[in-house]
Amino acid sequence: MTDLPRKAVTRTAKLAALPLGFAGRSAWGLGKRIGGYSADLVGQELQQRTAEQLFKVLGELKGGAMKFGQALSVFESALPDELAGPYRATLTRLQEAAPPLPAATVHAVLGERLGEDWRELFAEFEDKPAAAASIGQVHRAVWHDGREVAVKVQYPGAGEALISDLGQLSRFARLLGPLIPGMDIKPLIAELRDRVTEELDYALEAQAQRTYAEQYAHGSDFLIPGVVHQRDEVLVTEWMEGIPLSEVIADGTRDQCDRAGQLLARFLFSGPGRTGLLHADPHPGNFRLVTDGSERPDDWRLGVLDFGTVDRLPGGLPPIIGIALRMALEGEADAVYQLLRAEGFVKESIELDPESVRDYLLPIIEPAAVAEFTFSREWMRGQAARIADPRSPAHQLGKQLNLPPSYLLIHRVTLSTIGVLCQLGARVRMREEIEAWLPGFAGEDVPEATESSA
């Protein structure tokens, strides 16, 4: 009943075609250069063909493969323009669309999950999907009470495909390196595999979305669609109009980019404290800029979709983050070092120079040091180059630092959000959001472990 490729051998063959296809195109490119074609022209065409194949394979497979592509699309701002250009539009397409499942398959799923009389629940139902996600696609419809709704239908076999894809992609991580130069792909895949299976449980997603919708219901800068109905692998929520963030990134005005960026930062820092949850999938396809016809940027809101992957933080963001950030900005290198050591960021067997650690952190926390910071692809590329270059002191020091498991998802979400801010080129009052929402930054006492060990 499904057109989703589920057999492991079929999916493995398709995924294997990515690095093999790249190798074949490299040989093709060499032949063209020998034949007298411009190296720049051949290189551009080679990258474009690779990007097209990447979209075709990941989009058709959906599941974990598409989730991997969406994760990569957030980080494209760290790549040099000559490398990022051919991938930018292709990877961004993965955030909003993918080859759809046939209507007959969708109808069969709805009949199985909602009952044979499922059409009675809807006054209208559009067979053509409005959007596609990594494990499901969304259809626009009208609920029986007249409300416009989004019907999210999980692909049959999505769970099996999800686990299979991420396992196979992990095996191919080294071979996939040429697709996204300069990115350490294997840890990204491992982290996705650990967390992304929660997305299969639409009951958990509905619960998280209800929590966010309740907390941001009144007088909020955010619009969270309410949950209308949930049953097994079908989730029905209120429909939300708005400008997809990918369109704002591509063609948005300065006001649109700045407002979207400010609200995205506010959402990142305010969410855990207000809801006890961290929205852990911050790619542009999950956000809309909602203007409601107003020309005043202060009236615009950020619409948020897809609560399938969240980090549960009952106490909000750990205060250690805010305390360490404040100390680093105030020049307290020794205190920062002892605090990081106590939290497991520096293993007991390793001794590092506190000033070197602070120097490593300062460029990363630069947006919090000023009243307003302009994020840009150039800044992101500079940070990536500084940390990724094996010859740099920052790279050598970074290899000796440790990321405790409890901070892993927080770290990825923060980096992903910064990547989107850089794609927007947004001017953001980051310090204002940190002071308002990040525990520990405003001046709370330092934990006793830090005081006694400093």
Catalytic one of 145, 184, 221, 281: 281
Helix (H, G, I), strand (E, B), or coil: what is residue 114? Answer: helix
Q: Which of 232, 237, 168, 225 is nearest to 200 (CA)?
A: 232
Q: Which of 387, 381, 205, 175 is nearest to 280 (CA)?
A: 205
Q: How far apart are CA 138 and CA 227, in angstroms?
A: 14
Residues in the chain: 454
Q: Which of 370, 448, 449, 383 is nearest to 414 (CA)?
A: 383
Say if residues 4 and 155 touch (Cβ distance below 8 Å).
yes
Say if residues 196 and 166 touch (Cβ distance below 8 Å).
yes
Q: How far apart are CA 249 and CA 264, in angstroms?
A: 13
C-alpha torsion sign, points 358, 359, 361, 362 = positive
Q: How far apart are CA 435 and CA 34, in angstroms?
A: 59
Q: Is 3 a catalytic residue?
A: no
Q: How far apart are CA 424 and CA 77, in angstroms?
A: 10
Say if residues 43 and 25 touch (Cβ distance below 8 Å).
no
* Residue 56 CB burial class (10 angstroms; 0-12, 13-18, ≥19): middle
Provide the annotated active-site residues.
Answer: 281
